[in-house]
Amino acid sequence: MKFLEIIDNITVRDDWLSEYKKYVPLFIAQAKRDVNWDKWDSDIFNEFFERSSEQCVASLKQGYFTNQEKKNIKNKWTELSPLLKQLAIQQNVCNYELYSKIDNLIRTCTVNHKRSATHRLIASLQPSLLSNIVDQKSLITLQKYLKNNVDDIEVPSFSNSWFELSHNILKFYQNNKKPGFNNMDIITYPWQTLEFFQRKRVGRICWNEHNWERPSGTEGKSTNSETYEKEKGYGHEEWLFDKTKLIDGYCYGYLRPIVHYRNKYLEQKIFDLYLYSINENTKVRYWLGKIKKAEVIDRQESKRVFSIYKANGWYDEMIQQLKAVGANVDAFKQADEDYFAVIKYKPDDLDLLDTPVPFEHTDKAVSSTYYNLLKFVKEPKSVIEYNAGFVFKKGNNNKSTTSKVSIRKQEFEKNLIHNQIQDQIYNILCKEHGKENVGTENQLGTRGQIDIVVKLEKGYVFYEIKTSNNIRECIRDAIGQLLEYAHYDNEENIIELVIITPNKLTDSAKKYLLKLRQIYNIPITYKYFDLKNEKIINCFKQEMV
């Protein structure tokens, strides 16, 4: 394949390139000043150093410095800044000795050797010399892909050190770029070439409300009378995530986006398949996660799998599941054995989100809703935000007074009283702590949103609002949520977990919570919200707030 043909097939992230072109010159200008980190422009410094993911040079999925490591590095910034200044000045000089000095200094501040994170800082200051692929393994992989697939240009063999690999691979792209393109225009090409070869694809599957482990009936499926799922009452993908029927360690499944171009995909064989589905009742799109290393199988293997399903009684089980939801069993029995299964994957490679995440129909992650495999561009904006973890956000992010959610047959209306209480408590806490230190609906990755967060000097206080009249139910539900919010993939310092309800604390409930505090040392407290007087009462200290 010609090199420029590969370039024509990569998906250029214009948003990423735009951010890169905006910030990198600013990084260089700030570094040339040779000042301590707190003298940098805060926005520029945040993008250069503080931001862990989706940063303009590299997203660093390999992992960034921990909060403590960042503090350690900033404490040594007076030693680091002269080295960064030298980098910023030497825009045309690959100074491997200087790179090593920076790496060694930062290494003294980290628990483990955070090579990729360190490489990102260095690459941020020498855009004409170093690639924005900051992971050494990825550079080695890209080099292999290029050598194995480019047939019109000789791809040299480069050293395996990151610094030399990064420089030489970027130089290869610069020397072979299209006429009219400058070096900044192609800075994202190496990473996007790697993505091209890794064959990440996006595909739609039919709607299901049983986690795609068994059929769920017509709810949420297409209302178009010409579609298979409308006519037959089911889709063949409804068993796609069923991990109970293993053959030689693999799960087998049907995927409509594969079926029509099976022979084409058999040539490429293995994909990382990002999957989404649409609830046709609500028209809401949901991002589900991905199947890593999904392997397209041929017709002979499909027939073999079919015979094993019949022999093991799994086929009859599927028929019973279809009968249970009123689907057309005869249509299922008439299905072609050649297409009973079209992919296989290892159970551990099924990487689903904790819960399907809705995303906008305008999101560029999905350019078409037809049942075909799309090139992976990026995850939807809402998924990126959900995966970002806890970031304190001040202000009252108001919810609608009522909202209806439909997924997996869960239909409910959010209680208006929850939103009213949230607004009232927010206003009270703002008066006590200041609007800069109080926020509602703070995002916590795929786990949900914290009702209210208060930022204090020593750490954060999480509030969970419950509105049931049953105080035991309120406490039971809130404790699990608060503990998960505070400790699941969260490095921030959470100093207090507050259950707040419109129910006065009973003696039994108070004794129970005090036991949790005393025996397990859980910083859990209960506050009663007096609806009539709009006051928060701390039930442990018996004082009005």
Residue-wise pLDDT tens digits, 500-528: 999 999 999 999 999 999 999 999 999 99
pLDDT band (50, 70, 90) for residue 196: confident
3-state secondary structure of 346: coil
Which alpha helices (H) appear in 290-402, and where do they start and end? Answer: 299-311, 314-324, 329-333, 381-386
Q: What is the pTM of this model?
A: 0.57
What are the sequence ranges of the domains in the chain? 3-185, 205-387, 409-538
- The CATH number of 409-538, from 3.40.1350, 3.40.50, 1.10.3470, 1.10.10, is 3.40.1350
Region 39-64 average pLDDT: 83
pLDDT band (50, 70, 90) for residue 60: low
- Summary mean pLDDT of the chain: 89
Judged against a pLDDT cut of 80, whether residue 233 lies above it is answered with yes
Judged against a pLDDT cut of 70, whether residue 401 lies above it is answered with no
Region 488-497 average pLDDT: 85
Region 218-230 average pLDDT: 90
Judged against a pLDDT cut of 60, whether residue 66 lies above it is answered with yes
pLDDT band (50, 70, 90) for residue 407: very low
Q: Which residue has the tokens 């070096």?
A: 183
What is the DSSP code (8-state) at residue 372? S
3-state secondary structure of 204: strand
Give the model confidence (pLDDT) of 416-474 as tens digits. 778 889 999 999 999 999 999 999 998 886 567 899 999 999 999 999 999 999 999 99
**Residue 440 in contact with residue 545, Cβ under 8 Å?**
no
- The per-residue pLDDT for 415 is 58
Judged against a pLDDT cut of 70, whether residue 411 lies above it is answered with no
Which of these, 187, 127, 126, 134, lies nearest to 165 by C-alpha position? 134
Highest mean pLDDT among 8-12, 14-18, 265-269, 304-308: 304-308
Judged against a pLDDT cut of 80, whether residue 91 lies above it is answered with yes
Judged against a pLDDT cut of 70, whether residue 195 lies above it is answered with yes
- The per-residue pLDDT for 192 is 86
The CA–CA distances, whole Å, from 79 to 29, 39, 72, 216, 436 equal 18, 15, 12, 62, 34
Q: Which residue has the tokens 């005869």?
A: 330
Higher pLDDT, 275 or 61: 275
Give the model confidence (pLDDT) of 93-144 as tens digits. 889 999 999 999 999 999 999 999 999 999 999 999 999 888 888 899 899 8
Rounded distance, CA 309 to CA 333, Å? 13
Judged against a pLDDT cut of 60, whether residue 410 lies above it is answered with no
3-state secondary structure of 483: helix
- Residue 252's beta-bridge partner residues? 344
- The per-residue pLDDT for 199 is 79
Which of these, 47, 52, 46, lies nearest to 66 by C-alpha position? 52
% residues pLDDT > 90 (the chain): 63
String of DSSP letters for 56-72:
SS---TT----HHHHHH
% residues pLDDT > 70 (the chain): 94
The CA–CA distances, whole Å, from 166 to 11, 27, 64, 203 equal 21, 19, 19, 33
